[in-house]
Amino acid sequence: MSVIKENLEEIRLKIKRAAEKSGRKPEDIMLLGVTKTVDCERIQELADLGVKELGENRVQELMTKIDVIKGGVNWHLIGSLQTNKVKYIIGRVKLIHSVDSIHLAEEISRRSVKAGLATDILLEVNAAGEESKHGFSPAEIYGVVDKLREFDGIRVKGLMTVAPYDENPDNNRVYFKKMRELFIDIKAKNRNNIDMSFLSMGMTNDYEAAIEEGANIVRIGTGIFGERNYN
Ligand SMILES: *Cc1c(COP(=O)(O)O)cnc(C)c1O
């Protein structure tokens, strides 16, 4: 069996267990295969194994892969997005996870309207308040949601966070819980144009804890492909 297949089977089993622990079905959890730095041959292998939701964190790298990978895959942008790159991805990605400023949302809105379509986005939250991380603070997210309701061409579909790296993933539960609280709270307000469907949190190191705390998208790279090689 190939390494990718073997890794994938283990991840699927762990997703199933964590989903059941939180009273959900494994199919309620989306596994997003994170393909940054991975060559197209290995990405295609993953797609052929049934992982159809793929995530990249850089626009340029995404564009080199998007027309090569076959089999009805959906691409997600998960990394920080510069406004001047928005035009390249409108209409080409299923979901932008990393909207971290009103200015960026404005540009996505403008470009989407121009293209005659609507773009689904998640709002990135800096749940741990880390200096080095992008995202809105938990405190400002309500105001942001209110503001974005007025924007045409975007649909807010949920929240995303990148938790700190911690050898003990249980230490991130406090941030995952915070995210779930925000998610549930905003959902309960039932705002126009705001549809809290996706809570994107959990990576290789902490996806089981994230699912147990309510994630329904996990973004996994290393766990599938092995350690990345940044040359
Ligand atoms: C790289 C990346 C991931 C995947 O990280 P792994 O630890 O390799 O699973 C998830 N989310 C974002 C935003 C990333 O940049």
Cα maximum dimension of the chain: 51
User: What is the tens place of the pLDDT at every residue in 155-193?
Assistant: 999 999 999 999 999 999 999 999 999 999 999 988 777
pLDDT score of 95 more than 70 = yes
For position 169, what pLDDT does the model report?
96
Question: Probe ligand 1: pick from 51, 59, 126, 219, max atoms within 8 Å of CB?
Answer: 219
For position 103, what pLDDT does the model report?
98
pTM for the full predicted model: 0.97
User: What is the tens place of the pLDDT at every residue in 41-87?
Assistant: 999 999 999 999 999 999 999 999 999 999 999 999 999 999 999 99
For position 83, what pLDDT does the model report?
98
Tokens representing residue 149 in the block? 């309701």
**What are the counts of helices (DSSP H) followed by strands (DSSP E) for the chain?**
9, 8
Give the separation between CA 149 and CA 155, rounded to whole angstroms: 8
Identity at 39, one-letter amino acid code:
D
Helices of type H across 84-167: 86-89, 102-115, 141-148
Give the separation between CA 24 and CA 20, rounded to whole angstroms: 5
Ligand 1 atom nearest the C-alpha of 220 is: 9
3 state DSSP class of 191: coil
Average pLDDT value for the chain: 96
Give the separation between CA 219 and CA 158, rounded to whole angstroms: 15
- Give me the sign of the Cα torsion angle 142, 148, 150, 155: negative
Question: Of 216, 230, 225, whose CA–CA distance to 19 is shortest?
Answer: 216
| Contact residues of ligand 1, CB 6 A cut-off | 34, 36, 57, 78-79, 162, 203-205, 219-223
Ligand 1 atom nearest the C-alpha of 97 is: 13
| pLDDT tier for residue 231 given thresholds of 50, 70 and 90 | low
pLDDT score of 15 more than 90 = yes
- Rounded average pLDDT over 144-149: 94
C-alpha 203 to ligand 1 mean position (Å): 6
